[in-house]
Structure 1
Amino acid sequence: MLRSYIRMLLFSLALLVGVQVPGFMLDYEQRVDAHRLESEQSLGGFRRTADQYFEGSLERLLAHYQASEDPVFRSDADSLGILMRRNALFNEEWQALQGPWYEKAWRILVRPNPELRDETLAQYRYQVVLTPAAIAWGVGLGLALAVIMETLALWLSILLYPRRPARRIS
């Protein structure tokens, strides 16, 4: 009986964790997009200058700033380089999240941007939103954990209590 309660408890906990997955994924995606749009806006003035003097090439504008004798331009080159790297980083992350749900989930689980992941975790509000995706994640995670725990318990019982061949009575 205790084993049944433990099994139900584990399933319930996995279900509650599972229904959080779609909400966390959505928050992470929105954070990536917000940072991406902000970085695009930050580069706006530099893009206009690059369009006017360097045929739209930010790299050539950066090289021009870096080659300048003026310390103000060299300082701006450092700032522009940082903005360009952050913009590329956010664009790459945003592109990676444009695939199907399982690719998004894998990306967020295995290779998230640490800064964005930490921001999302810090601001995330746990809630139970019963959308079809949340229900599917919850039930799927609950079943997966239940099967894993049952399999581990079975293996453990086989290791601890091996069956002995029955004796023949003659």
Structure 2
Amino acid sequence: MIKNLLDKLFFAFGVIVFLQLPHFIDQYTQRMGGFAASQAQQISEYQAIADQHFEGNLNAYISRLKENTDPVIAASAKMVTENIEGNKNINKDLQVYENEPLWYQLPYFLSHVRVDLARGTFNNFSPGVPINLWAWGYGILGGVLFSLLFHGMAKTPKLVKKKLVKKKAIN
């Protein structure tokens, strides 16, 4: 009776945890979108300076910054370049999260996670119940996996004891 209750609790816990994965990815995507918009705003400000002084050539502006003898100004060239590259990369990731199905997003998230954004998302995460079929599929998968985990933990001591008994019988 207790074993059945524990099995059901593990299953329910698995469903709840795995239901939150799609919801977490949604919130992560929103945070990423905000970060990308912020970067784009910074880049547009750099572009405005390039428009004003370098005939719109942002690379010429960056080159001028790099050539400056003041190390603070030269270092800002690296920051501008990193912002531009970072914005290209984050927009590529956003395309995946906004356009691909959930079954593609989850493995992509696990292999391309941006730790700073994931940490911020986790710190501000508010659990919810997603209402799409894929999310519920992940929930059921989580329930089954946690149930299998429980059964593995429940059977392991019996298997170890059985092997020990066999070893004693052989000796």
Q: After TM superposition, is the score higher than 0.5?
A: yes
Deviations 1:122-168 (A, max 9, x none): 1111123343233212111101221233244334422222486xxxx
Q: Distance in 2 between matches of 1:60 and 1:6?
A: 66
Q: Distance in 2 between matches of 1:14 and 1:112?
A: 22
User: Structure 1 stretch 67-76 or stretch 147-156: which is displaced more?
Assistant: 67-76
Structure 1: gaps of 5 or more residues = 165-170
Is residue 66 of structure 2 the alignment partner of residue 63 of structure 1?
A: no
Alignment match, 1:167: none
Alignment match, 1:3: 3
Deviations 1:40-79 (A, max 9, x none): 12111322444673664x3442122211357785465354
Is residue 124 of structure 2 the alignment partner of residue 123 of structure 1?
A: yes
| Runs of 4+ displaced beyond 6 Å | none
Alignment match, 1:42: 42
Q: Secondary structure at the match of 2:17?
A: helix
Q: Distance in 2 between matches of 1:94 and 1:130?
A: 22
Q: Secondary structure at the match of 2:113?
A: coil
Structure 2: gaps of 5 or more residues = 167-171
TM-score under structure 1 length normalisation: 0.76
Q: Distance in 2 between matches of 1:138 and 1:96?
A: 22
Q: Which amino acid letter does the alignment assign opposite residue 102 of structure 1? A: W
User: Structure 1 stretch 23-32 or stretch 40-49: which is displaced more?
Assistant: 40-49
Q: Which amino acid letter does the alignment assign opposite residue 29 of structure 1? A: T
Q: Distance in 2 between matches of 1:85 and 1:152?
A: 47
How far is the alpha carbon of 1:105 from its aligned partner? Answer: 0.8
Q: Distance in 1 between matches of 2:123 and 2:152?
A: 35
Q: Distance in 2 between matches of 1:160 and 1:88?
A: 57
Contact kept in structure 2, 1:66 and 1:73, CA below 8 Å: yes
Contact kept in structure 2, 1:93 and 1:113, CA below 8 Å: no
TM-score under structure 2 length normalisation: 0.76
User: Structure 1 stretch 153-162 or stretch 7-16: which is displaced more?
Assistant: 153-162
Write 1 or 2 for the structure with the bigger share of helix. Answer: 2
User: Structure 1 stretch 19-28 or stretch 101-110: which is displaced more?
Assistant: 101-110
Deviations 1:65-113 (A, max 9, x none): 2113577854653542453354244234324535442332123234411
Q: Distance in 2 between matches of 1:95 and 1:129?
A: 21
Q: Distance in 1 between matches of 2:112 and 2:144?
A: 25
Alignment match, 1:21: 21
Alignment match, 2:105: 104
- The aligned length equals 163
